[in-house]
Amino acid sequence: MARAVTNRRKAIVTVAAWLIAIAIFFPIFWIVVLSFKTEGNAIKDPLEVLTSAWTFDSYATVQERSNYFRHFWNSVILSVGSTVLGLIIAVPAAWAMAFVPGKRTKDVLMWMLSTKMLPPVGVLVPIYLIFRDLGLLDSRIGLVIVLTLINLPIIVWMLYTYFREIPGEILEAARMDGATLRDEIIHVLTPMAVPGIASTLLLNIILAWNEAFWTLNLTAAKAAPLTAFIASYSSPEGLFYAKLSAASTMAIAPILIMGWFSQKQLVRGLTFGAVK
């Protein structure tokens, strides 16, 4: 029998949820506010910042100084390209682990996840030297490969979890009907796991979009995404809060909009198989 939830408990949970949401969203809100202020007003007390005049001067300056759309398209290509490549590799890998389990499946999964525990700076030098020798520095192809590799463990783990929720009898029935391995993965398994695959795709696009360490160290200008675009406004000569906030707002706006419109699909995918 389900336990009754009192109105007081509902109110407490609602208030706590709103407080957590405000705490998470406030830094983004403040960045947006500062982006519409002059440099002089941006460093004033919070109440003075809110009541001071609003202006688009910082956005105009940022656009004049940097080619925003070039950085934007680089971010789109890198995030979408690395995610699609990761899915192409991860779907067969997750299928093999989920439906052809071996004694070492859990060990392999834990080993893959352990690679995320290594600080990126620990492998920066060898990867930099490899990219330099292969001519991949400051190239989209090189960054797509790196972003694919760093997010691949997460993609495999998520897809493995979703695939495990699909009854194996369905795949056995497809084999009895003459389905090949390729047909089984593409025409049977993948359509049934669409919510999980969609949430995996969205989450990894966000992770690749926000990746800063590798994009700052392996690019200079030609393949620089929006993370490098933001970093260019952090100057040792001074703190330019308004311009930095404008650049940050322009960088996070596309991914915030995408997250807003895809939140239902993301939640549906993350809870896929949670309720029997």
User: Per-residue pLDDT tens for 11-56?
Assistant: 899 999 999 999 999 999 999 999 999 888 888 888 888 888 899 9
271 vs 222, residue with greater confidence: 222
**Average confidence (pLDDT) over 199-205:** 88
Nearest to 136 by CA among 235, 223, 241, 35: 223
Q: In the Cβ-directed half-sphere of 231, how many Cα atoms lie within 13 Å?
A: 17
**Residues whose CB is less than 8 angstroms from the CB of residue 143 and which lie 6 or more positions away in sequence, other chains included:** 78, 82, 214, 215, 218, 219, 223, 225
Q: Residue 147's pLDDT band (boundaries 50, 70, 90)?
A: very high
Within 165-193, residue ranges assigned H as helices are: 168-176, 181-183, 190-192
Residues 6+ apart with CB under 8 A from 20: none
The Cβ of residue 219 has, within 10 Å, a number of other Cβ atoms equal to: 21
Predicted local confidence at residue 80, as pLDDT:
94
101 pLDDT exceeds 70?
A: no
Q: Residue 3 above 70 pLDDT?
A: no
What does the alpha-carbon distance between residue 25 and residue 46 come to, in Å, rounded to a whole number? 16
At 3, list the tokens: 């336990």
Beta bridge partner(s), residue 235: 238
Q: What is the pTM of this model?
A: 0.83
Q: Of 115-129, 136-150, 229-243, where does mean pLDDT reach its minimum?
A: 229-243
Query: Residue 248: which of 80, 78, 69, 35 has the closest Cα?
Result: 35
Q: How confident is the model at residue 2 (pLDDT cuts 50, 70, 90)?
A: very low
The CATH number corresponding to 66-232 among 3.30.930.10, 1.10.3720.10, 3.40.640.10, 3.30.43.10 equals: 1.10.3720.10
In angstroms, the CA 220 to CA 106 distance is 40
